[in-house]
A = this chain, B = another copy of it.
């Protein structure tokens, strides 16, 4: 189905849809909230990419969201690179025909009401197929939210993005790309992604895949230099053989994480009404995922965490060389739970050598434990916990991955103390500064040097500024002790998988 082998340096229909220089929008007005299209246009404008090259088409309005509106596509002074249709279903064929006559080759069709509603919708689907064929049009949808492209216009337009979805909070731009048969999983994840540091470069809601399907997007992303990790939400795979072949080529280089939405009775019923897909047996999909080296889950948090894990590993090329985990903690209970889950997930938590234990003891109170987990108990030398001990473990050669439990929002704690009328001594006030300059860049250098990831953990929700600071430095941070061992086990599994292809 693809026009040409995807090379991002060459012209490609997906590249063109993701990076149009000009855009016309059908179905937007001045009432966001009551119409989805208005919100979608609002988000396109907020992305800042289209100075002067954005053309709302509206039968009555003169001005739409501050932009001159046109009664018809034929009134638009240029041939836009892309048309975006958020229209009642029945007029989609007519508008599409007009776009074809105008010479527009790329479309995104948000409108629902096609095959997912039954026979009448199927007829309409055939109509739009015919129009696409007639004018050589490639389009995303129908029944989709469209796209988010954090790399829009890069590198010329440095801070621009292109978001046709209604969720308005763009995630931070990164090396993760998502292709989803659900608009929610493409775009409603933005709030959590932003909050927990899942850095997404592209997210595509593919809808009914009438013209461009997951396989097309996978081909594109395989060669996309901005994509290191791929997330999929799947309700069906139309081209099974091509999917299998391509996924097997991709996963040794770019890990894929997938959620499959079907496989149970009610889920399949839900899917039929959602995108009109015929979902299949769980076992078949599990076999597909296994054969292709795709990591799959039914949990949206797993999905986001796995993507983040691979994103950070790929970004700095930090892949563990084995499964030996070192745990440093200032909380005994958290240490026990992480040691336990690490072992349950198949990691090893080796007892440290006497030599390493002696070295650790030199800087610790007598109540501390040094065998692994290292439990520093209550110790205010935060730089030991956060930096010097991880460094000691790295140098020892006794571990492949490290978890550090005990990240607090130091500023919050000190503010709380001062609000109580107590003074924080100068040395401690500086902790924030010391950690800031002494931890982030140095630990990243060490992680890269040793290829040993260090995962930081603490009991605060991500909203706290200190956690956001870790995120801004791309240093892995976790908001409690459930996910660090789970993510490390996934990372170790992927590293082993990857080795088979070297």
Contact = CB atoms under 8 A, between A and B. Distances in A.
The winner among A274, A373, A377 for most chain B CB atoms within 10 A is A274
A414 interface: yes
Contact of A333 (B185, B195, B481): B185
Interface in A332-367: 332-337, 339-344, 349, 351, 366-367
A31 B182 CA distance: 53
A188 B480 CA distance: 10
A341 B191 CA distance: 22
Interface stretch (A130-138, A256-264, A313-321, A444-452): A256-264
A180 B180 CA distance: 42
A343 B264 contact: yes
A183 interface: yes
A30 B117 CA distance: 70
A420 B482 contact: no
B375 A413 contact: no
Interface string A417-452: 100111111011000000000000000000000000
Contacts of A36: 378
Contacts of A52: none
Contact of A367 (B117, B336, B366, B425): B117
A415 to B, nearest CB: 11
Give the one of A42, A191, A298, A380 with max B CB within 10 A: A191
B482 A331 contact: no
A112 interface: yes
Interface residues of A, number: 101
A265 interface: yes
B195 A425 contact: no
Interface in A152-188: 166-168, 180-185, 188
A463 interface: yes
A391 interface: no
A261 B337 CA distance: 5
Contact of A339 (B39, B266, B331, B373): B266
B340 A482 contact: no
Contacts of A341: 298
- Going nearest first, the 4 A-B pairs with the smallest beta carbon separation are A182-B333, A274-B332, A266-B349, A273-B369
Given A117-B367, A267-B337, A274-B336, 15 more contacts: A42-B417, A184-B331, A185-B334, A191-B459, A192-B479, A259-B337, A266-B339, A266-B342, A266-B343, A266-B349, A266-B372, A270-B369, A274-B369, A299-B482, A301-B482
17 contacts: A32-B424, A33-B380, A33-B414, A34-B428, A36-B378, A42-B420, A65-B422, A180-B333, A184-B331, A191-B461, A191-B464, A195-B463, A235-B333, A259-B337, A270-B332, A273-B371, A299-B482
